[in-house]
Every structure is written in structure tokens, then in C-alpha cells.
Amino acid sequence: MNDGCHTTLSSKLQMEIAFSTTEAEYIALSQEMHESLPFLTLMQEIGRVIKFFNPKSKFHCKVIQGTMSCIKVAESPKFKPHTKHIAIKYHYFCKHVLDGTVTILYIDTKQQIADIFTKPLDESLFNHLHKMLMGW
């Protein structure tokens, strides 16, 4: 839980070779959506049975992504020449992005705490992320 919200964090070896950073991030985004969308669907079904205080409430999912090109691919309803090689199985969540159920937000590199574990950083950025990680 993060600020009262459901949060999923994972680090997995991807079983496919990605030809670009955009494709690798898109595959990771697809895998995260594979975990989040069933939870979102469950909440919507519960909302139909149990009447919440606001009957017009809509369940919504916000996903944070650090690559703008990945966000553009997910928000685009059409295949582009440079993304047509990405397997169809990774595009299933795009309809949720287009209908507004899922919003993909950009996060700047200076705010990505996970980078402290995955990238070589200069000393100032390392110290900044370390303070964020420790809550200082």
C-alpha cells in the first residue's frame, strides 16, 4: 500500500528479446497491466453489487512510466512502422488506456527511486535518490 492505494512492484527477467528500450518498457508495462486489470475489474464488479456512497464513482488506475516513447505507443490506437514488430499479446491493455480507465503518467529520471538499484548514477543523483528512498 502506498498512500492508501494498491501498489505493485516487481523485477522479472523478460522472456523475450526487446529490440529497443521502448519495446522493453512496453513489455514491462504490459506485464504490470496483466496484474492490475483483473484487480480493477474485480473492484468494478463489486461496485455493481455493493452500492457505494457515490453511485457514479468510476474505478481508475494510474500507472507511472519513465519512458515517454512507451507512453506514446500505449496511447496510440494505430500501429506505427517502428512498433509493428511488438507482439500483439502486449497490446491488450491499450483499450483501457483509450477509454480512460487506465492513465499512464510520466515520471522524471530524478524521481525514479528504483534507478538507484538498476543504473550507474553520478554521486549527486545517487544521494538525492538515497534520501528519497530513506524518507529523509
- Higher per-residue confidence, 136 vs 130: 130
Rounded to a whole number of angstroms, the distance between the first and last alpha carbons of the chain is: 20
What is the structure's pLDDT at 57?
65
Nearest-CA neighbor of 11 among 114, 129, 127, 108?
Answer: 114
Compute the distance between CA of residue 93 and CA of residue 61 in angstroms, rounded to an integer.
Answer: 12
Would you state the cell numbers that stand for residue 57, as one nine-digit string?
464513482
Compute the distance between CA of residue 115 and CA of residue 111 in angstroms, rounded to an integer.
Answer: 9
Q: pTM, whole model, 2 decimals?
A: 0.74
**pLDDT per residue as tens digits for the range 4-58:** 555 666 666 767 788 888 888 888 888 888 888 888 888 878 877 776 666 666 7
- CB 97 within 8 Å of CB 120: no
What is the structure's pLDDT at 1?
42
Exposed, middle or buried: residue 3 (CB in 10 Å: 0-12, 13-18, 19+)? exposed
Q: What number is the average pLDDT over the span 95-124? A: 88
Angle between helices 21-49 and 68-75 (to 10 degrees): 50
Helix (H, G, I), strand (E, B) or coil at 62: strand
Compute the distance between CA of residue 120 and CA of residue 129 in angstroms, rounded to an integer.
Answer: 12
- CB 43 within 8 Å of CB 59: yes
Compute the distance between CA of residue 29 and CA of residue 97 in angstroms, rounded to an integer.
Answer: 12
